[in-house]
Every structure is written in structure tokens, then in C-alpha cells.
Chains A and B, each alone.
Chain A
Amino acid sequence: MKTAVASLLASVAVSTVLASPAAAQHAGHSLAEPQQSADAKTKCEEEVARHRAMGHPVTDGACEPAAQPEAAMDHSKMGHMAMDHGSMPQGRPAEGAIDHSQMNHGDMGQSETDTSSMDNGQMDHSQMNHGQTGSQVMQGMDHSAMQMGSNADIPLLPPPPEAGSGPARAAVSIWGEQAMAEARQELIRETNGGTRFWFQGDRFEYQARKGADGYFWEIQGYYGGDIDKFWFRSEGEGVFGNKVEKAEVQGLWSHAIAPFFDFQAGIRQDLTGPERTYAVVGFQGLAPYKFEVTGAAFVSNTGDLTARLEGELDQKITQRLILQPRAEINLSAQDVPELGIGAGIDRFETGIRLRYEFAREFAPYVGISQGWRLGRSADFARAAGEDPSVTNYVVGIRFWF
């Protein structure tokens, strides 16, 4: 996508104008697009001719392209009100190119303004009565860029008392209170963003590794509206042929607190091993650079404090082939021997998955993940006859509906 000429020129114009305020006055009558600068020039020349016919002196060359780059300027931002016409270079501006509407001639006060240096002695602004200009009066001048009333003249105000107050009820007197109340409620319901159910199997996978192969799931979902949702998630794993090794479910209230982040709070229940219930406080959202991040702190019914932080990133190779690196770290404030948890960094896991979105909702993937148990946690693992470092080759599907 090359050259948006208008914007480019506008930016040039900004710097030009900053350097030379008076020059900006040329632009008023030629709002033509840059690609039509030849056309604009012609218009300018016509303008000049008209002004000459009116008896205004106009210097030769006033329509030369030097004046053209400003064509795309936004005059409403320029603050003509504050301009000192006396500072204009002698004979430079074509009178016809001045944007009269911005000048507020009524306030200028001829006596305070040194117009003589503009060399327009024959033009008496006070008699032109710009304030009341209807197009008929000025037809011959074709003030093509003229706007009635610049914003500086129009106050930013709330509605006057005559505008009324309270809810909009005009239709009530015609169609009846009840019929309109029902329809209004339906309209509000229809336009409030709605309430919906979302379910995602984020990782539903087969894990091949040294020793017995296993399986793993991580699902999440919500039911709710734009701001408040009931959020649930579950993850678990096991080895084929044996009963589930680890499984947990969480039920959370998820509340949007920022454009890209939700606050979450609720409970977690472990479904395997020693029975544990946790209070959960956390967040979920999209960090700068589009990292999807989730973090939660857990306090168990036995008083143990642990935390989990996850991040993943979608890297599109093509529109449908997506590489997703992810990392997860589990922390603990104390040893929890019966759960094999060691204080400090309990476990760290990183992985990369390559998925193909046959549909947005359905994407098989392959990948590799590596988990480490660290410190005391590694000791617990070894004591249980497990390897603290595990590499998984994974195949799975990611889906949602």
C-alpha cells in the first residue's frame, strides 16, 4: 500500500505552516486533492481573475505551485484568529486566496490592523459585511472554502431547557405506555452486547514420552456478558491404563477491569490425591505484544499458598498455520510434601505447538513440551521414582464453540 498522497502532503504542510503562518492563508480556496493540483491552479487563476475584476490588486504568480502543498490543510485547527495580517510579506498572498471565514473581520478593527502592507487598499472589509453573508450577496466571489461560523464562535454547550429532560417518551402518547415499555426493554436487551456461552478445549492432547504415554487436557469457558462472566477451567493428566493422576476444576467470577484484562476470583477443587479446596484470586488478559496471560494465587483449605502464571503467544505463519509457544511457572510459598510441591519455583514448563486451523474453531496440532521440577520439588519427584525432567511429544486438538 503505497503513498497516501494527501496525508503525506498534509504532513509537509504542517511543517511549512509552522515555519510560515502567513503562507497558510493561500489554502483557503483550493481544497482540491493534491492529484488535482493542476485543476486547483486553474481554479486559483479563475479566482485571481475574478478578484482583478473586482479591482483587487493581485500579484503575478500567486497561483504558482509553491502555494499548493497546503491544499490538504485542516483550517479549523489553524487558529487564524490570532494572526497578524500586518506581518504578511508584501504582495505575497493573493487576496482571493484568503479564507475570509476564518478571519473574523468583524473583530479585526481596521484601526488596529496594519493592512497597508498587504497592498489591498482598495478593499474595504468593513463594507463587505462578512458576518451576514448569504451566498446571493457574494455570489460573484465564489468563496468556495467559506464556512459560516468558525467553531471558535460557537460555544460548546449542553442542550437548552427547551430541549426537555428525562427519558425519551414521544411514542408513549401514540402507542401506549405498556407497549412502548416492553419494546424499549427489548431494544435495550438487544443492544447490550448479549450473554453467551463459550467453551474451549485449549489443549486436548496425547503425550508421548519416555516410559508410559499419557494424556492431558486443559479446557476453559464462560457464560456471561461483556463485563461480568462466570468463568470455568479445568486441567488434568494421566497415563493410559491408569486412573487419572491429577485433575482440578475452577469456578470463577470474571470481571472486566481494563480493556484487555479481567479480574478473576473463585474456588478451585482438586479431584485427585489428597482432597484440597482453594480460594483463587487472579487475572486473565492480553498483554502488550498480544501475549495471552493468566495468573492466579491459590490458598488451600490447609493454608498453603501457591501461584501459577501462564503465557502464550500466537505466531501466524500463514492465515491458518499458527505456531504457539507457551510457558507456565508454578510457585509455592512452602513445601507441601503430600502433593509433591517444593517451596519456591515448584515446576516450570515450556512448549511449542504448531496448529492448523481448518476452521477457527477446530485446529489439530503437534508439538513438544518440556517440564522441569525444581529444588525440593525435584527431590520429591525422585523420591517417588519419577524423573524431574520430562519431555513430551504431543498431538492434540484445540477447539471452541
Chain B
Amino acid sequence: MGLLGLAGVVPAWARGGDLLSGVARKGFDEVSGSNIDLTVARSAFSTGNKRGGAIAVNGSIPGPLLRLREGTTVRLNVHNQLEEDTSIHWHGLLVPFQLDGVPGVSFPGIKPGETFTAEFPVRQSGTYWWHSHSGLQEQAGHYGPIVVDPAVPDPVQADREYIVVLSEFSETDPNVLYEKLKKSADYFNYEQPTWTDDYPLSGAQRRNWARMRMSPVDILDITGSTFTYLINGHGPADNLEFNFQPGERVRLRFINSGAATYFNIRIPGLPMTVVQADGQNVEPVEVDEFQIGIAETYDVIVTPDNDAAYTLVAESMDRSGMGIATLASAPGARAAIPPLRDPPLLTMADMGMGGMAGMAGMGGGSESMPGNSSGQGAARPGMRDTSRLPADVEVGPGLAMVSANPVDRTGDPGVGLSDVPHRTLDYRKLRSLTPNVDRRTPSRRMEIHLTSNMERYMWSFDGKKFSAVSDEPIRFAYNERVRVKLINDTMMTHPIHLHGHFFELVNGAPADRQPLKHTVNVQPGGSVEFDLTADEPGDWAFHCHILYHMVAGMFQIVSVANPVGEGA
């Protein structure tokens, strides 16, 4: 499709190449040591009854687990066997900027047939991942897990551990998926309000949504209508099994390697104790379900005991599909697979009117209510009051909504989870396990608005696509400590990732216990703040980790000045 625009990027397999050659293996090998080779190549992939082109690294999807050790030096050789440029970003690892793997920001990219070597000291421990930062290759399978074992005894003790890599597979080429979104943004959404749905929406509410030209089910761009959700490369039909002995402490390292999917994770009957977020240890907190943003990682401890088997459910946030695995005490043991829950609806808070719910006399999250419940429109705040925006936000066709009251939503467990009948995780429950180093009060604040026009599928920071600000990076002085506020002027949750740094979420924790993150979810119509110590000199990518938002323009460069003055 997309005759003119796409002709140049249709891969060989889609032009009639042999699909049988090199079908990628599901799951991953482990590679470790001081010298590691990674080979990126065209491949094919199949799961269930779906089959399509893919990119595999070392022949598997996900690619191999990099098992590193804190305090060592590792040399990673990336061989590009594609017919196009590629790259690998070591997501969450603290590396010199020129090895960070973002073409056009940290390096020129890896040409076809070439090898790129990244050699760097491993300065940290925890659960991370790697992925391509070239085009949409990540969606095609170019990703894999990283585990760095600590140099000192791990404060998290477990009898066994599993890595749980969450992702998606579509038969359709990622470039075509993007093309469809640009032409018809609700293309993949088959949970839309209709005359025959059973959403708890009154006629007045439906008319109000229509009046705003927005949708209460605009939750994920790409859905189970095309995605098969994968756990370690295995679709629901692939019967992935994690074995345990009853009573063992099992560590599950969850990594959301999805390109466009938020997952809600639960193991019915088995509480999970979250011990690590984004590779950084946190004070243990027990939950029954948590939402994992794209590119986030969470480590949890479970102690399965009573039952022979438990189902691990990774349900997409819009509830259009799920990834499934089984924790089994004996091979083949299975537990019931819960059905998909009803799709959630967006609320007043998701429209940036968090604090106004009470004012308008309606239940905020309890029912989806744009405008007045009686339909009289008595208290209809404007959806695009641009006078609320600072001068540096560009007001144009790419900005369809302004959050009238973007409240701090770090206490919210995420779209669809505020009414589940069990314990959920939210950012305010995260506390660093050990004290943070930098306890300075930030010397300044800055604000960045997340902006969009869903109808045109345009995404940006401050109303400006990267192409409009490619010469105006976000600048920090070396070692400067800045409080950054992200304000979401859209109705979708965005996982915002800053390369090369950990920032501290301002979540109500004491200054020295604010949790460290590399990726933060900014909930619809809400805001989040983080304190950043800009102590990694160089140029770093800063972007929404929904792959299709990034390529649509929601991308910027963060430039941290070099203390010795060179290069920046």
C-alpha cells in the first residue's frame, strides 16, 4: 500500500523473497563474557497462524540476553547483515554518549555489511534491554534483554529467575502499520463506541465526545486486531512455561520491549512483590497487578506454593489481546486463563480536567463524562485553551488539545486500573532502596508539553516536531540539577525516555529516596515531574517510546555540556 511513499522501503521478503529461509527462533540464548557478537539479519517469524517478515539478532526473536557483570568492561560487536542501516541502543545502560546507538545523535549508524564495536565499562546492575534505534526495526524483532549482575551480593535474593520480555508481532510490515495510522488514526481500533456497544456511556456523553472530535477509547494506536502479543517471542498459542518448585522465591524480570503496547501484568492467585524498577532496586512493594509502560522494566518476586500452576497474564492496556505464559510446578501443568476484561474508557482526568471532576459534579474516573452529565454543557471547559500554554509551545494544526488542569497523576495506577478489585502499583509507591547521591534542590525548573493531533496522527514536544527543532536541543549545564515537568496535552499515555541518565521521579518520596527511572509514563491529560542531575556529557535522544509517536516527531535531543568544553 502507499504506492509512492513506500516503494523504497518494502523489504526483500515482501517483494517475493523466500520466507522459508531463516525463520527466527522464538526465545533467546544467553551471551556473556567480555567480547560479544551480535548479528542483525533479515528473517521471518511465525506465531499461531500468523507469519511475516522480521529482523532477528543472532537468529532469534527476541535477540540474545546480554548477561553482563557490574565492574567489568564489555566489548559488543554489532554486525549488520541488513540491506539498510541499523543500530543498537543499550536501553538504560550508562555509556559514553557516542556508544549510545542513536543514528544522527550519538553516531552515524551502522551501514550494511559493517560492524560497529561498542566497548565500555559496565557501571551498574539491574534489568535492561537493547533495541534498534533505526526507523521501525524494533517492531520487526530487533530487541533483546540485558541483565547486569551486581558486583556486590544482590539485595534481591531468589531461588530462580526468569526474564519476561513482552512485545508484539504483526504480519504487516511496521512501515505499513505506520502508513495506516497516518492515513487513518483509528484504523486498528475495533473497540469504538457504536450503536450496539455496551459501554456505560449516556447519549449525552457520546455526543460530547463526538463534539470534541475525540474518542473515549483512544487508548492504544495499534491493537490486538493486528498484534499477537508475545512473551519471550511466544504467542498465547505457544504454551510458554516457566517451571518452579513450590515455595521457591522466583524472580521475574519484566521488560516491555513492545513498540506500541502498554501491558497490565497479573498472575491470578499470586501476589507480586516489586523489587526493582528500570533496573534500580526499590523498597519491596506487594501488588496484585501493575501496568508496565513501553521500555520500562520491573523485577518482581513471587512465591508460588499452593497451586500446581499459575497463569501469567500480560493484557494490553486497551484489552484487545494478551500475552500468556504459565508458571508450572510440573511440566504441562496449566491454570485457567482469564478472559479479556472489558475495555476501559477515558475519563475527565484523561482529558486534562483532573481537578475539575468534582466541580462539574461528576465522578471523574467513575464514569466517562466529557462535559456535563445532563448534556446541558453547563461546565464545559474548553478543550484547546491555548492561553494556558507558555510562549515556546507552537500552536498549530499539530496541537489539538490543551490540558486545562494537568494534575500530577503519579498516584494513578494507569488507564483502566483504578477500579480493579485488587492492589495495583503506582509511581508513588516506589522508593529507592538505597539513598540517592545527589540531594541538591534543583536550581531551576523547566516544562515540556507533550502535544498531538490524533486525527492527523501528529505527535510532538511543545507543538514542534523534531524536524522543526533539530538545531535547538534541550540544553543542560554539566552537573546541573533541574526539575523537569512533563505536561501531557494529549489523551494517550506516553512513555518518555531520556537516554544516558537516570532521573528521579518527584513522587512524594523523600529527596534521597525518589525512585530512579530512565523512562516515565505521563498519563493522559496529566503531568509528572522528575529531578535530573545532568552529569553525563554529550548529546542524548529524548523521546516518546511509542515507536510510531517517535517517528511522527515526538523526539528531541538533550545536550549536556561537557565540563572540559569540547564537543558541546
Question: Contact residues of A with B, CB < 8 Å?
Answer: 1-8, 10-12, 14-15, 31, 33, 35-36, 72, 74-77, 134-135, 143-149, 151, 153-160, 162-176, 179-180, 182-198, 223, 226-227, 256-260, 286, 288-290, 315-319, 360-361, 400-401
Q: How far is the CA of A146 from the CA of B187 in the complex (A)?
A: 45
Let me know if B550 and A191 touch, CB within 8 A. Answer: yes
> Is B182 in contact with A196, judged by CB distance below 8 angstroms?
yes
Chain A residues with CB under 8 Å of B305's CB are none
- A-binding segment of B32-40, B124-132, B505-513: B505-513
| B443 close to A (CB within 8 Å) | yes
In the complex, chain A residues whose CB is within 8 Å of the CB of B441 = 148-149, 153-154
Determine the distance from Cα of A168 to Cα of B475 in the docked complex, in whole angstroms. Answer: 9
Chain B residues in 8 Å Cβ range of A318: 194-196
Closest Cβ of chain B: how far from A401's Cβ, in Å?
Answer: 5
Judge whether B539 and A147 touch: CB under 8 Å. Answer: no
> Is B475's CB under 8 angstroms from A165's CB?
yes
In the complex, whether B4 has a CB less than 8 A from a CB of chain A is yes
The interface residues of chain A lying within 8 Å CB-to-CB of B475 are: 159, 163-165
Q: List 11 A-B contacts (CB under 8 A).
A: A11-B355, A163-B561, A166-B471, A168-B473, A168-B557, A170-B567, A171-B539, A191-B467, A360-B184, A360-B187, A361-B1
B444 at the interface (CB under 8 A from A): yes
Q: A11-B357, A163-B476, A170-B567 are in contact. List 12 more A-B contacts (CB 8 A).
A: A3-B365, A4-B366, A4-B418, A5-B419, A147-B508, A151-B445, A163-B559, A164-B475, A170-B562, A192-B553, A286-B455, A316-B194
Cβ of B104 and Cβ of A188 under 8 Å apart? yes
Q: Which of A11, A33, A151, A173 meets B364, CB within 8 Å?
A: A11
CB-based contact A288/B477 at 8 Å: no
**B66-74, B269-277, B331-339, B393-401: which lies at the interface:** B393-401
Contacts of A180 in B (CB 8 A): 104, 108
Q: What 1/0 mask marks residues of chain B from 494 to 533 whose CB sits below 8 Å from any chain A CB?
A: 0000000000001011111100000000000000010000
The proximity string for B residues 348-365 relative to A, scoring 1 for CB distances below 8 Å and 0 otherwise, is: 110000110111000111
B453 closest partner in A (C-beta): A259
CB <8 Å contact, B443 and A154 = yes
List residues of chain A with CB within 8 A of the CB of B446. Answer: 156-158
For residue A162, which residues in chain B have a CB less than 8 angstroms away from its CB?
477-478, 480, 561
Q: Determine the chain B residues whose CB is within 8 A of the CB of A360 once the complex forms.
A: 180, 184, 187
B508 near A7: Cβ-Cβ < 8 Å = no
Chain A, residue nearest B399 (CB): A259
Are A258 and B397 in contact (CB-based, < 8 A)? yes
Q: How far is the CA of A243 from the CA of B361 in the complex (A)?
A: 63
Residues of B within 8 A of A5 (CB): 365-366, 418-419
Measured in the bound complex, the distance between the Cα atoms of B509 and A179 in whole Å is: 45
How far apart are B95's CB and chain A's nearest CB, in angstroms?
13
Residues on B with C-beta less than 8 A from A4 are: 347, 349, 363-366, 418-419
The tally of residues in B whose CB lies under 8 Å from a CB in A reads 121
Say yes or no for B458: interface residue by CB 8 A criterion. Answer: yes
A168 to B476, alpha carbons, bound, how many Å? 12
Contacts of B466 in A (CB 8 A): 187-188, 191-192
Tell me which residues across on chain B come within 8 A of A149, comparing CB atoms: 441-442, 483, 511
- Within 8 Å by CB of A172, from B408, B473, B511, B567, lies B567
* CA distance in complex: A220, B339 (Å): 42
Which of A72, A167, A174 is close to B470, meaning CB atoms less than 8 Å apart? A167
Could you tell me the distance between the alpha carbons of A160 and B228 in the complex, rounded to whole angstroms?
48
Interface residue? B2 (CB, 8 A) = yes
Q: Assess the A31–B397 pair: CB atoms within 8 A.
A: no
CA A169 to CA B98, docked complex, whole Å: 11
Please provide the chain B residues from 473 to 497 with a CB less than 8 Å away from any CB of chain A in the complex: 473, 475-478, 480, 483
Which 7 residue pairs across A and B have the least CB separation, nearest first?
Answer: A4-B365, A187-B104, A11-B358, A148-B511, A149-B441, A7-B364, A7-B365
The answer on a CB contact under 8 Å between B192 and A2 is: no
Tally of contacts, chain A with chain B, CB under 8 A: 321
**Best-buried of B2, B180, B212, B419 by chain A (most CB within 10 Å):** B419
With A and B bound together, what is the CA distance between A198 and B4 in angstroms? 9
Smallest CB–CB gap between A48 and chain B, Å? 19
From known contacts A6-B412, A256-B456, infer whether A147 and B213 are also in contact, taking CB-CB under 8 Å.
no
Which residue on B lies nearest to A195, using beta carbons? Answer: B5
Our pick among A6, A148, A156 for the contact of B445 (Cβ within 8 Å) is A156
- Tell me if B249 is interfacial: C-beta within 8 Å of chain A: no
**Nearest-CB residue, chain B, relative to A131:** B441
Q: In the complex, which residues of chain B have a beta carbon less than 8 angstroms from the beta carbon of A173?
A: 566-567
Nearest B residue (CB) for A4: B365
Identify which of A12, A75, A191, A196 contacts B4 (C-beta below 8 A).
Answer: A196
Q: A196 — which chain B residues lie within 8 A by C-beta?
A: 2, 4-6, 179, 182-183
Q: Measured between alpha carbons, how far is A8 from B446 in the docked complex, in Å?
A: 30
Q: Known contacts A8-B365, A173-B566, A183-B103: does B416 contact A1 (CB below 8 Å)?
A: yes
Across the interface, which residues of B come within 8 angstroms of A169, CB to CB?
A: 539, 567-568
Complex Cα spacing A300 to B384, Å: 39
Given A7-B349, A147-B508: A155 in contact with B445 (beta carbons within 8 A): yes
Across the interface, B552 reaches (CB within 8 A) one of A134, A164, A165, A193, namely A193
Whose C-beta in chain B lies nearest to the C-beta of A286? B213
List residues of chain A with CB within 8 A of the CB of B426. 33
